[in-house]
């Protein structure tokens, strides 16, 4: 009995083992099939349109216009965005427009630079978009070094040679307003560009704000012994006063803050469309940077008006916009020798340092 009972037991064990091995082989074969059927993700040189977009300065929160905030209240359907457009004098200047709220802030900003595009009905009087009509934004690809690769459609090539630098400047300054963008590189329909397509401006290394905007270089300028700085001067179109960034040159070796202020005090090129908001004889006495606040002291000539001397709104805006363009300056405090308190045009004391966001109101700066 023991002899005959052993064989069935052995047969059952062998049967169970073979079934388990067969199941394992089948399962492993299924896994291998899945791996073969799913191709590896191919590396691509074309910017990925789905890449994470650059975030705007500040908290970076955007809505789609149809959502609700954390308290359940209806979210705003628009957001203020700074776009660099061309004014009636052919200069590139920032204008703050209310755009539909969007999570794709950088792509949207570029779309609103396209001629005959969605910006058309929002354009301030005398301003125009700069990108060729029909240009589509195919993709944005942020790089770890702060470069943003911008891929545009073939329609981008349809512009006049005289507009080439303006197009580059408008794109660069509009996109570098976002915190994680330091420079841009251009691709057209998935192909990297080493030069601009019409006039051949070199762009192999990308374009940043250090390349300047609205270049003003006088015939007497010693280019070899000078360096570029960008400052803001007021311009006027009808009742609107706005500020235009211009890149000029100052003598090498000067203190950075002093050089920039001196460029402002020298005023813009004579005979141009820009205004000089500073009085003749105004001089900077000293400057001091502490915790992001740049204190700049002037002589009394910086003030306007005999009875109630004050600092003009245009002069204050030029100083703040120019100096806060520097990475280490967050706000500007204006002091005047011999004056206990500096007043603005409205007769209000400038008791606190002035930041870029404080420059608003009737003057669209």
Chain segment 117-139, per-residue pLDDT in tens:
999 999 999 999 999 999 999 99
pLDDT of residue 291: 96
Average pLDDT of the chain to the nearest whole number: 82
Would you list the domain boundaries of the chain? 78-210, 226-358
Percent of the chain scored above 70 by pLDDT? 76
With CA atoms as reference, report the closest residue to 156 among 123, 189, 108.
189
Residue 72 DSSP one-character state: S
pLDDT of residue 191: 97
180: its two tokens:
């994680």
Q: How does residue 216 score in pLDDT terms, banded at 50, 70 and 90? A: confident
Helix and strand numbers (H, E) in the chain are: 5, 13
pLDDT of residue 220: 54
Range of lowest pLDDT (7-16, 278-287, 330-339, 349-358): 7-16
Tally of residues, the chain: 365
201: its two tokens:
């401006």
pLDDT of residue 221: 59
Q: How does residue 269 score in pLDDT terms, banded at 50, 70 and 90? A: confident
Distance CA 245, CA 10 (A): 92
CB of 114 closer than 8 Å to CB of 129: yes
Torsional sign, CA 46, 180, 207, 121: positive
pLDDT tens per residue across span 3-56? 444 444 444 444 444 444 444 443 344 333 233 333 344 344 445 544 566 766
């Amino acid at each position: 009995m023991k002899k005959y009972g052993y064989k069935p037991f052995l047969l059952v064990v062998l049967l169970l083992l073979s079934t388990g091995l067969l199941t394992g082989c089948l399962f492993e074969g299924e896994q291998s099939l899945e791996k073969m059927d799913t191709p590896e993700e191919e590396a691509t040189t074309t910017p990925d349109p789905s890449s994470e977009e650059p975030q705007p300065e500040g908290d970076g929160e955007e809505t789609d216009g149809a959502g609700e905030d954390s308290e359940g209240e209806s979210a705003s359907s628009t957001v203020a965005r700074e776009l660099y457009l061309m004014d009636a004098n052919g200069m590139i200047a920032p204008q703050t427009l209310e755009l539909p709220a969007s999570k794709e802030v950088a792509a949207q900003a570029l779309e609103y630079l396209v001629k005959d595009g969605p910006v058309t009905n929002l354009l301030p009087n005398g301003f125009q978009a700069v990108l060729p009509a029909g240009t589509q934004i195919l993709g944005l690809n942020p790089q770890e070094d702060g470069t943003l690769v911008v891929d545009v459609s073939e329609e981008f090539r349809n512009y006049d040679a005289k507009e080439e630098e303006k197009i580059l400047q408008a794109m660069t300054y509009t996109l570098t307003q976002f915190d994680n963008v330091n420079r841009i590189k251009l691709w057209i329909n998935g192909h990297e560009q080493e030069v601009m397509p019409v006039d051949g401006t070199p762009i192999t290394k990308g374009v940043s704000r250090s390349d300047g905007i609205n270049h003003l270089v006088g015939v007497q300028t010693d280019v070899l012994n000078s360096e570029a700085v960008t400052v803001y001067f007021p311009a006027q179109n009808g009742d609107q006063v706005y500020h235009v960034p211009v890149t000029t040159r100052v003598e090498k070796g000067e203190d950075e803050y002093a050089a920039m202020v001196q460029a402002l005090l020298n005023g813009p090129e004579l005979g141009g469309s820009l205004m000089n908001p500073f009085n003749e004889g105004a001089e900077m006495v000293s400057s001091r940077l502490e915790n992001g606040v740049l204190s700049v002291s002037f002589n009394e000539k910086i003030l306007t008006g005999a009875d109630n001397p004050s600092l003009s709104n245009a002069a204050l805006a030029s100083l703040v916009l120019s100096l806060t363009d520097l990475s280490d300056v967050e706000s500007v405090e204006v002091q005047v020798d011999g004056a206990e308190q500096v007043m603005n045009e409205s007769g209000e004391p400038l008791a606190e340092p002035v930041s870029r966001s404080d420059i608003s109101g009737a003057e669209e700066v």
